[in-house]
Amino acid sequence: MKKTLVIVGLGLIGGSMALALKGFEDYEIVGVDVSQPTLRYAAEHGVGDRVTESAAEVIPQADVVVLALHPQGILDFLKAYREQFKPGALVWDVCGVKSAILEAADCLPDSVDFIGCHPMAGTEFSGVEHAFAQMFQGSHFLIVPRPTSQPEHLALLERLAAYMGCKDVHRTTAQAHDALIAYTSQVMHIIAVAVCDDPTLFDCKGYEGSSFRGCTRVAALDVGLWTQLFSLNEPALLEVLDRLIGNLQSYRAVLVTGDRKALAEKLAHSAARKRQMDLPGPDLLE
């Protein structure tokens, strides 16, 4: 008899996961979404083995549940369905913030094993119509176990990640994850939108270089999603923003002096750090 793996939320990530996991071991992949257009598209394009709008019908029978909703949606879903998960089930999420999600998961009964996860993949697009099975090829898969996490569930997550094409699985803490994401992802999105707030933006249309396009690529973001991500990771993000503001002010200060030698030394220091960063090195997630 087949086991059941339910993916709640068939957007870009959830839809891609439903495509990537088809045929995984002895699991039937069931997609759940409340949007009728999303369900129709998923059914017509084979996103998962089957789809439904009713989480209540499939959650009690699910051996594995993946929460691929917006952050607040995950918090709300955990609270609403905390008594409906199958005893012994593995529940995990794909959210880019871990501390708030793991705190919310404390509401689950002891019989349900929740493990925080973050497959580090995505595009600037959203919606199931942009989902593709190769989304996770070569990506990192981060997991945040809890003290009660079952070894067999951790092993299952490693097999799931490998099947989707992830190049590795890293175990880390919620705090380390959120600090990493604040620096490598969230502040980059803030830089992109802040650059687009410049009053001369539209005067430059048609004259943008590749560096400008690269910097602002993610600025046309999903406002609802990133509002939640920024808000739920506020402490870590504020620390990174404060450091960035200090670094920008440092560059401004040396420019004001007109001291080209000091400016060159500062640029050389930053450029050397970037080159060093590009060299193979140890994993700093632990």
104 shares a domain with 188: no
Query: Element (H or E) spanning 77, and its range?
Result: helix 71-81
d(CA 11, CA 151): 29
Quote the pTM value.
0.89
Q: Using CA atoms of 5, 11, 12, 14 in order, give the dihedral in degrees to the nearest 10.
A: -10
Strands in the chain per DSSP E: 3-8, 27-32, 50-52, 64-67, 90-93, 113-119, 140-144, 168-171
Answer yes or no: is pLDDT of 283 > 60. Answer: no
**Over residues 149-160, mean pLDDT:** 98
182 shares a domain with 148: no
182 shares a domain with 168: no
Answer whether residue 128 is part of any domain: yes
CATH of the domain at 159: 3.40.50.720
The predicted pLDDT at position 266 comes to 97
Range of the domain at 269: 176-277
How many folded domains does the chain comprise? 2
Predicted confidence band of residue 24 (pLDDT cuts 50, 70, 90): very high
Domain end (from 172, 188, 211): 172
Domain end (from 122, 141, 172): 172
The β-bridge relationship of strands 64-67 and 140-144 is: unpaired
Answer yes or no: is pLDDT of 109 > 60. Answer: yes
Domain end (from 172, 202, 230): 172
269 shares a domain with 229: yes
The β-bridge relationship of strands 140-144 and 113-119 is: antiparallel
Do 156 and 185 touch, CB atoms closer than 8 A?
no
**Over residues 229-255, mean pLDDT:** 98
Answer whether residue 219 is part of any domain: yes
**Over residues 155-184, mean pLDDT:** 97
pLDDT tens digits, residue range 113-141? 999 999 999 877 789 999 999 999 999 99
17 shares a domain with 150: yes
- For residues 126 and 103, the model is more confident at 103
47: exposed, middle or buried (C-beta count within 10 Å: 0-12, 13-18, 19+)?
buried
Arithmetic mean of pLDDT over the chain:
95
Query: Element (H or E) spanning 251, and its range?
Result: helix 234-257
Least confident interval from 28-42, 116-130, 224-238: 116-130
The predicted pLDDT at position 124 comes to 74
d(CA 117, CA 87): 20
